[in-house]
Structure 1
């Protein structure tokens, strides 16, 4: 597989031959999928009542210490499938009523994603084809060169912007370069998809929506991110301000400062700051979603 013999798909540049072993993403060159299903807990313009056609890829290049999906981000669960089967699964989700195809953490599989989407959009054996938007749901830790491979393949970019502070990025994601990397990545995403557009039902069909997950005790860093995004992109993007942080059991011993949920006061402070800046294109989250019950199970039970 192209780009896999000495893998440099992500900013880690691990240069591992993923044909024979696993990269820092913890997976080989074989497509490994942890879950394919309708998903209902995204922004309203993505999920709606019918759900988003979520494809959770096994493995991850970032490995945040507070990850809610650690069992898949470390490649512990998942099932290997072919590019052709992935294309069929896209169309199957469409037939199930999905509003879109939601590619969750697929950085390390960009070449296969490109192939699968092109196959699905061309036509399958039964004559069916993919016609709904494709969303690239990412941590934001992306190389511009790899994102360019997705031009014309992805309709909507859904990146995180986790940290503005390099020290926080190093402490919680072992990636001090994260702030500069994500800035360049979002620039490329906006270049490819410069305007957020919705269909007549209110579902997003193109553009960039940037997510900011507020971490407990780090309101000032979140505010710096919101200000950067508004200063640079104004109303050409949407910002999703998320209060859903949920401390996982393993976090207490090494990172006690993260062993709590975000308070109402913290989240209100961020929202009020965004309003004072003049931000209008934003999604605000109900704090009730900060529950472990909203974390999907990854049982590999899909056809």
Structure 2
């Protein structure tokens, strides 16, 4: 297990001084105001609020439609408390004083019950493979267990996130031919440590207590592991922002769970059309699903969008991704990280003739063109690169 729990704070500040200086930028502070408030323990994380919103009935004994109905009523209080917290009326200090006793069953319990139902048969992601993963491997290459391949303080993430308490889960519902984490996502997804909800909560607690600014659920892809992730929050007893570092290919039903617990969205917006997504990641209806989920997510938390510039895919993907962001998301609340670190990996490196446009690094001219287009659209990307 990769985790240096005794790494001094001064080490990461020396290695990533931008992680300190970024918070002097008033625009970043404003755009990431909710995340920042939770990060510095001024505001309660969303999962903490959900844990103290009482459920009318025992959610573990209800059917799906009954659960949805009970959740609808419980969420009214949750949304009020979230609004109050966003407005600065419900600080963490006030929250701790007013919500001393946890209810027997909460909105978070409802979400746990819903996640477990959606996982069997599995319809957590939009592949909707409908497989009982306790008996067969799903489209995500996973059975019903959760495999954690590593967890540590990540110093290579965007400046506002460093040091990030990153948990790498095995498995993925994509088959990207250039995947840089192909060992844990595609070739050996079930070779990590098998964890249950209590163990996962302990990992998150240790990361936070030893200096992590957040808990960063990544992979692979975290979506297939949703039931255990949500359940772990029932046992987590420290205030910490929850980050969903994802390809955003989950179902609307899963989004309805995530909006109760995610403080900062870190979506990977890969392609500007469905054809490139099918060709390079074997994903149907990619653009339709991801853009739908981005619209839902941006209304319920802060957001940093990642986009990796691919060689020869500037016109068809990068420019279209940026144009969609500018036309559909509130640019005064979103940051974008335009990434230039593509390198030929996995199947592209093994079979270069199949994807000849991807066998080279991205040209600097291509990246500069994407930067210039983002600037023309009014997209802020420099502070988090």
- The correspondence of residues 116-131 of structure 1 with structure 2, limited to 5 A, is 116-120=232-236, 129-131=237-239
Equivalent residue, structure 1, for 2:183: 71
Equivalent residue, structure 1, for 2:344: 247
Match of 2:168 among 56, 80, 89: 56
**Residues 1:228 and 2:324 aligned together:** yes
Match of 2:227 among 108, 111, 115: 111
Asked if 2 retains the 8 angstrom alpha-carbon contact of 1:241 and 1:283, the reply is: no
For residues 246 and 288 of structure 2, what CA distance do their matches in structure 1 show? 16
**Residues 1:139 and 2:239 aligned together:** no
Bigger radius of gyration? 2
Counterpart secondary structure, 1:186: helix
Equivalent residue, structure 2, for 1:31: 146
CA offsets, 1:171-200, max 9 Å, x none?
A: 00111300000001101111222xxxxxxx
TM-score by length of structure 2 reads: 0.65
For residues 284 and 213 of structure 1, what CA distance do their matches in structure 2 show? 14
Equivalent residue, structure 1, for 2:310: 215
Match of 1:80 among 187, 194, 199: 194
Structure holding more helix per residue: 2
For residues 76 and 5 of structure 1, what CA distance do their matches in structure 2 show? 19
For residues 263 and 279 of structure 2, what CA distance do their matches in structure 1 show? 33
The list of structure 1 runs, each at least 4 consecutive aligned residues, that deviate by more than 6 angstroms after superposition, is none
**Residues 1:183 and 2:295 aligned together:** no
Question: CA, structure 1 residues 215+284, in 2 after alignment: closer, same or farther (shift >3 Å)?
Answer: farther
Q: How far 1:219 moved relative to its partner? A: 0.9
**Residues 1:43 and 2:158 aligned together:** yes
Question: CA, structure 1 residues 103+25, in 2 after alignment: closer, same or farther (shift >3 Å)?
Answer: same
Question: CA, structure 1 residues 253+130, in 2 after alignment: closer, same or farther (shift >3 Å)?
Answer: farther
For structure 2, which runs of at least 5 residues remain unmatched after alignment? Answer: 1-115
Q: Which moved more, 1:68-77 or 1:51-60?
A: 68-77
Counterpart secondary structure, 1:135: strand
Counterpart secondary structure, 1:32: strand
For residues 346 and 235 of structure 2, what CA distance do their matches in structure 1 show? 41
Counterpart secondary structure, 1:167: helix
Report how many aligned residue pairs link the two structures.
Answer: 261
Counterpart secondary structure, 2:266: strand
Q: How far 1:283 moved relative to its partner? A: 4.7
Counterpart secondary structure, 1:36: strand
Asked if 1 retains the 8 angstrom alpha-carbon contact of 2:222 and 2:246, the reply is: yes
Counterpart secondary structure, 1:22: coil
For residues 68 and 245 of structure 1, what CA distance do their matches in structure 2 show? 9
Asked if 2 retains the 8 angstrom alpha-carbon contact of 1:10 and 1:141, the reply is: yes
For residues 20 and 269 of structure 1, what CA distance do their matches in structure 2 show? 49
Counterpart secondary structure, 1:38: strand
Asked if 2 retains the 8 angstrom alpha-carbon contact of 1:237 and 1:281, the reply is: no
Q: How far 1:77 moved relative to its partner? A: 2.6
Question: CA, structure 1 residues 253+281, in 2 after alignment: closer, same or farther (shift >3 Å)?
Answer: closer
Asked if 2 retains the 8 angstrom alpha-carbon contact of 1:215 and 1:245, the reply is: yes
TM-score by length of structure 1 reads: 0.82
Asked if 2 retains the 8 angstrom alpha-carbon contact of 1:110 and 1:149, the reply is: no
Structure holding more strand per residue: 1
CA offsets, 1:247-276, max 9 Å, x none?
A: 115312421211111111000000011111
Equivalent residue, structure 2, for 1:12: 127
